[in-house]
Amino acid sequence: MLWARYRVLGRAMSDEGETLWKNLLTRKSDESILRLVTDVQNGLADILIKRRCFCMPGVQLTFQSYERQRKHLNVRLGVLILLLIPLPLLLYRYHVRPPLILLLSSLPPLFLGVFYPTWWRRHHHPNRELTVERRFTTLSLICRPIAFVCGIVALTAWSIDSSAANHAGIAAALATGAMLTLPLFFAPKNHRNDH
């Protein structure tokens, strides 16, 4: 298990990882396993720090590595949200009340799709110490959940056959749009497209 983890990490590190593995695999078999493992750990740590591939304390990410990690995070979170699609059907099958089904099926996407990506950006963005970036992520943490809830209210109101509910749904949809666009006005000017 340990070897598989190091082999995957070694493969992910392009040329430097490949040369590291060639050097480690050509060693004599009578050497200690502990020495080999510490060499692997030290070599991979050097590569990771040199390439700035992972966010370590005291090591700031470059924009390329930040974008790569953000895309990987979005893929993982998207897969988790897709795995939760059958949740409302399962809750309905076990005769859970509809408001509870709505609550339980909307909380995981709220946390996985809204809170966590914004929190992750707040802690891993290369410009996270700038006031403009902090303001943008703070507004995003406030406005995006409100927009999510307003979107659910709009969809629920439109499903009710009433003129008052229809007007409430339109108002909630407009509020959703306003809440989603508000943080964009405070986004850093040179990085508006990386949210």
Check: CB of residue 150 under 8 Å from CB of residue 169.
no
Q: For 135-139, what is the mean pLDDT?
A: 93
Q: How far is 133 from 135, CA to CA, in rounded Å? A: 5
- Regarding whether 79 and 174 lie in a shared domain, the answer is yes
- Radius of gyration, CA atoms only, the chain: 23
Q: For 119-126, what is the mean pLDDT?
A: 91
- Regarding whether 145 and 185 lie in a shared domain, the answer is yes
Q: How many domains does the chain have?
A: 2
- More confident position, 22 or 166: 166
Buried (b) or exposed (e) across 20-47, using 16+ Cβ within 10 A? bbeebeeeeeeeeeeeeeeebeebbeeb
Q: Say which range, 27-36, 111-120, 180-189, has the weakest mean pLDDT.
A: 27-36
The 8 Å CB, 24+ separation contacts for 128-132 are: 130/188, 132/186, 132/188, 132/189
- Regarding whether 132 and 180 lie in a shared domain, the answer is yes
Residue indicated by tokens 């995003």: 140
Check: CB of residue 44 under 8 Å from CB of residue 10.
yes
Q: How far is 157 from 171, CA to CA, in rounded Å? A: 10
Q: For 155-180, what is the mean pLDDT?
A: 93
Asked if residue 57 belongs to a domain, the reply is no
pLDDT band at 13 (very low <50, low <70, confident <90, very high): very low
- Residue 139: which domain range? 65-191
Model pLDDT, residue 110: 93
Q: For 112-127, what is the mean pLDDT?
A: 92
Q: For 165-178, what is the mean pLDDT?
A: 94
- Regarding whether 156 and 82 lie in a shared domain, the answer is yes
- Regarding whether 38 and 104 lie in a shared domain, the answer is no
